[in-house]
Amino acid sequence: MIIGIYGHHDSGKTLFLEKIIKELRQRGISVAAVKHLGGHYKPDTKKDTGRLAKAGFDPVIGVADGEATIRLSGHDDLRSAISLMQTLSDPDVIFVEGFKNEPIEKIAVGDIEELPGTLFRSDDVSVILEYITRKVKEEQESTINPCGCEKTMSRSDKHGGVDDMAEVKLEILVNGKKIAANEFVNKMVWETLSGMMRSLKQVDENIKSIEISARKE
């Protein structure tokens, strides 16, 4: 499930998310967030990971006790960011903060005028929680076959994306040499490319194949 959060600057969007995530986690619902950082955002190039990214390393992953941070270029639009999120994790709900004009369901925060797709205002907390809980339950139940057995659902199936990665045949050639890639790399490459292609107006949502040939003269 993907749902947007929008409102004026300093209207309490992050505070609302901090409040609602506690309730959702208590209900056993896993939650992730994609946040638009805006034009004011300036990456910190003085820290080690920032210096490595500035030097040209891509991606750069910083690993600490209990978490990892990723700096990765090419994910500057919502679709590719969500595709990456679905590759790395499998959240029940992805909250999208700041992409207010995207055609997704939305929650308005503060006194901002309602945009198309707005379902609730942030003060309707109990109603929002019940709606999300019901939608997540419906998605989970949709993975059950008529026989009563659980159906394996890929992340992209669950969120309306590409087919199961088992059906993707990926071939990577660098300088004419075929490069072997494990399942994680295959997923990363496919989700990145398909996410980038979906950002183009001429491309349909249902992507079955992508062919790119690039040569540096």
Average pLDDT, stretch 88-96?
86
At 98-135, the pLDDT tens digits run 888 888 899 999 999 999 999 999 998 999 999 999 99
| pLDDT at residue 197 in the model | 80
2-198, which class in CATH? alpha beta
The predicted model scores a pTM of 0.61
pLDDT level of residue 202 (50, 70, 90 thresholds): confident
Confidence of residue 7 (pLDDT cuts 50, 70, 90): very high
- Greatest extent of the chain over all pairs of C-alpha atoms, in Å: 60
Question: What does each C-alpha distance from 6 to 27, 35, 119 come to in angstroms?
Answer: 24, 10, 12
Tell me what percent of the residues of the chain surpass a pLDDT of 70: 81
pLDDT of the residue at 103: 86
Give residue 208's pLDDT.
Answer: 80
Are residues 106 and 6 in contact, defined by beta-carbon separation less than 8 angstroms?
Answer: yes
CB-CB contact of 48 with 128 (8 Å): no
What pLDDT, in 10s, does the model give residues 25-83? Answer: 999 999 999 888 766 666 676 778 778 878 878 778 888 888 888 877 776 778 878 88
